[in-house]
Amino acid sequence: MSHRFPLLFVPQLVLTEIIKFLKPAELVTLSLCSKRCRILVKIHRKKSMRVSIQLFNGHVPRVGVCINTSNNSYNVLGSFGGYRFHFESANKEKYKKIENLVICGHMITCAIDQRTGYLVTFWDDNTQGLKVITDYVCNLFRSTVRTVSIDQYSSWIVDWINKKQKSPINRMIINDHMDDLKKPNLLQVLRSFRGTEKLLIVASPPKLFKFPYKFEKVSTLIIENGFWLTIDNLIDLDCVSMKIKNTSFSSLEINVFLLNWMTGNSRLRCFHIEVTRGNFNEVIRDVEHLIELFEGTRVYKWDNIADIHFHGGYNIRRDDGVTATISVGPKLIIFAVWPDWQR
Condensed to tens digits (0 to 9), the pLDDT of residues 43-85 reads: 888 776 678 888 887 667 888 887 765 567 788 888 876 554 4
Backbone angles phi, psi at 155, to 5 degrees: -65, -20
Residue 282 confidence class, pLDDT cut points 50, 70, 90: very high
Would you call the peptide bond into 24 cis, given omega within 30 degrees of 0 as the criterion?
no
291 class by beta-carbon count within 10 Å (0-12 exposed, 13-18 middle, 19+ buried): middle
What percent of the chain stands above pLDDT 90? 22
Q: How far apart are CA 92 and CA 309, in angstroms?
A: 49
H-state helical runs in 147-243: 156-164, 183-192, 231-236
pLDDT score recorded for residue 85? 46
Q: Of the given ranges (107-116, 212-221, 287-296), which has the lowest mean pLDDT? A: 107-116
* Closest C-alpha to 139, from 269, 207, 41: 41
Q: What span, in angstroms and rounded, lies between the C-alpha atoms of 236 and 257? A: 10
3-state secondary structure of 293: strand
Residues 245-269 have a mean pLDDT of 91
Mean pLDDT of the chain: 82
Q: With a cut of 60, say whether residue 334 has pLDDT above it.
A: yes
Q: Is pLDDT of 91 > 70?
A: no
Compute the distance between CA of residue 63 and CA of residue 49 in angstroms, rounded to an integer.
18
pTM: 0.83
Looking at residue 332, its pLDDT comes to: 93
> Among the listed ranges 12-16, 261-265, 311-315, which one has the minimum average pLDDT value?
12-16
* Angle, CA 148 vertex, CA 144 and CA 149 arms, to 5°: 160
Q: What is the pLDDT of residue 155?
A: 73
Where b means 16+ CB within 10 Å and e means fewer, 28-63 reads bbbbbeeeebbebbeebbeeeeebbbbbbbeeebbb
Band of the pLDDT at 3, cuts 50, 70, 90? low
| Per-residue confidence (pLDDT) for residue 244, from 0 to 100 | 94
On the question of pLDDT at 176 being above 50, the answer is yes
193-196: Cβ within 8 A, 24+ apart? 193/158, 193/162, 193/169, 194/162, 194/168, 194/169, 195/168, 196/168, 196/169, 196/170, 196/171, 196/172
Please indicate whether residue 202 or residue 98 has the higher confidence score (pLDDT): 202
Distance of CA 100 to the CA centre of its chain: 32
Instruction: Give me the mean pLDDT over the 154-176 stretch.
Output: 83
Q: How many angstroms separate the CA atoms of 69 and 169, rounded? A: 14
Could you give the CA distance from residue 127 to residue 124 in angstroms, rounded to a whole number?
Answer: 9
Residue 101, strand partner residues: 108
Give the model's pLDDT for residue 181.
57
Query: Band of the pLDDT at 178, cuts 50, 70, 90?
Result: very low
**What is the domain partition of the chain in residue ranges?**
7-84+94-143
**Which pLDDT does position 249 carry in this prediction?**
95
* Whole-angstrom distance, CA of residue 182 vs CA of residue 153: 9
Distance spanning both ends of the chain, measured CA to CA = 59
Pairing of strands 62-67, 73-81: antiparallel
Calpha distance 331→128 (Å, rounded): 46
